[in-house]
């Protein structure tokens, strides 16, 4: 896919990848690689390829999966079994 500047249509772009930390709800912050394209002609900068949203979603999904596994492991170490949790669940 050829990425071009949305402002002037130029394909003369410089791409930088920055490591960015995102706060995660139940865990430590997660990092993703943010793509920034800058047009050499007009100076416009941004995610011209539209990749950053999916990179953020992947990083947060990975963090969520890690935290769920960590919570379940910690509960198991404390002697709390899944059957206890199923019985304690209140009906909706």
The CA distance from 75 to 22, in Å, is 26
Q: Which two tokens stand for residue 38?
A: 């800058």
What are residue 40's phi and psi, to 5 degrees? -75, -20
Q: Kindly report the pTM of this predicted structure.
A: 0.73
pLDDT tens profile 4-45:
999 999 999 999 999 999 998 877 889 999 999 999 999 999
């Amino acid at each position: 896919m050829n990425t071009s500047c949305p402002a002037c249509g130029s394909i003369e772009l410089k791409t930088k990848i920055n490591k960015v930390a995102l706060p995660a709800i139940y865990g430590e912050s997660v990092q993703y690689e943010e793509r920034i394209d800058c047009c050499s002609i007009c100076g416009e900068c941004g995610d011209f390829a539209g990749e950053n949203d999916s990179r953020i979603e992947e990083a947060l999904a990975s963090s969520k999966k890690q935290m769920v596994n960590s919570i379940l492991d910690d509960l198991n170490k404390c002697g709390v079994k899944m059957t206890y949790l199923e019985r304690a669940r209140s009906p909706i």
